[in-house]
Structure 1
């Protein structure tokens, strides 16, 4: 049997072709595995490797969005066109699904066209553009799966669809990692500096400032009326997560107080990201983080849902340069934008 490699441009003239996917994701080597297609397969895109965030779908699309698990690390995308006249999308998906399971992946979510959410699902997830990846809106199938690689999570998103004469397959593969080592520095030497932990210098508890001083949080409220927007400072979403971590945030408490004092005013919570990764994934992450803040204001502070909405603009509205880590940190934020006109 002739072997067909994912990085080659030819294909084997046999019924069963193989796409060899042996990718290096970051500093870790994800275990190699071989996928066999039910027909001659020609690569149409990739594989391309970026440091990115992959929003792996974990459920069907709903009007309020759809659940995802964010995998931060190395992300690789590739697509193939498969010469399979007469085969259905199910015929494409079944053997690929079986091979992923045999390689140690466990299905997280799988669906078919309307059960996925139809049009809305297809345009909400990470799909390469035409002609690299063709998706028939009336006939596609999707599978999310993941497995453990050492101490990290490896995730795969598999989309299959077809035209009248050909099948189309996209695989998005992500390997989570902790990212580059970070450090903290100070210009002075204080008695309350904590010990070195790995590559990080940690401040001892007495020196750690509150997330946002109360006076600063209160003064920021005036920006809603004078400037029309304010940054919600000190929010923590955790590593690779879209949900706000537990704890009291003074900026949220201050905003909630202002909203209660001004029940006739409405605001939009707008999520922002840095410019790392693709626009589609950043738009999704930014909106999910804004939605998490909105949910906290509703559940913890009793703010009426009609008074606040959640939106995301990804990296399209920076307030600092994306060329430095500090600038990217500043750009990763959630803002409250006044939407009332009176």
Structure 2
């Protein structure tokens, strides 16, 4: 039986999200970005993606160092250990898998990445400070027959429902945000009726910040041609614009729309879970 990583996070770490894939492939980054490519090693097995928010003034290295030590004590061999600029900065950040905001927030100038492997098991740790807090992402892979990875805070604390990550903070820190609560009619570009917290927050943000405009970008999976998907994704972005104008009073002149089709995936299109994540609408912050 192969051992999987067991990590203890800092006291006060609040769990944000957990995504599990029973059997999949993870490309473990093993080198800094080079010529728009991040060197990686293929691992296949059970993949678990978890994120936490750590409030307080702890630095990225203060959070990462104990996790690195725990992995070494468990026999994991470090494959990559780098800070933002040494990793490749912007290019590295967008060349590796990152759980979408607001579940994971990354400031491209303040992050540290660590990857390690042991036999057929692998783990990567990404820590960044953004918006006054630190965020931790752990992606672990273990063979199907291995014991599932265990990651726990030193003091068990559920995420505080009173302190969600605000969409406005995501926009200000990253310049774009996925509108994760939108629901479209099956096989349609029509946004379902109902109240969406992301749209309320967008409307309030625009009202409070007249210096900004928005670009709504529709995205799809890779089923069908790019031409078809570009058209579908643009119509979905347009339906979001219309809802913002009709239900929340946002001036249409402050919102542009575009369809990217399947050109900008944030997960693998080879599995159903990845295709579902890739079908999305993002808000991109623009200046007037």
Higher relative contact order (CA 8 A, sep 6+): 2
Q: What is the TM-score of this pair, normalised by structure 2?
A: 0.49
Give the number of the structure whose alpha-carbon radius of gyration is greater.
1
Q: What is the TM-score of this pair, normalised by structure 1?
A: 0.41
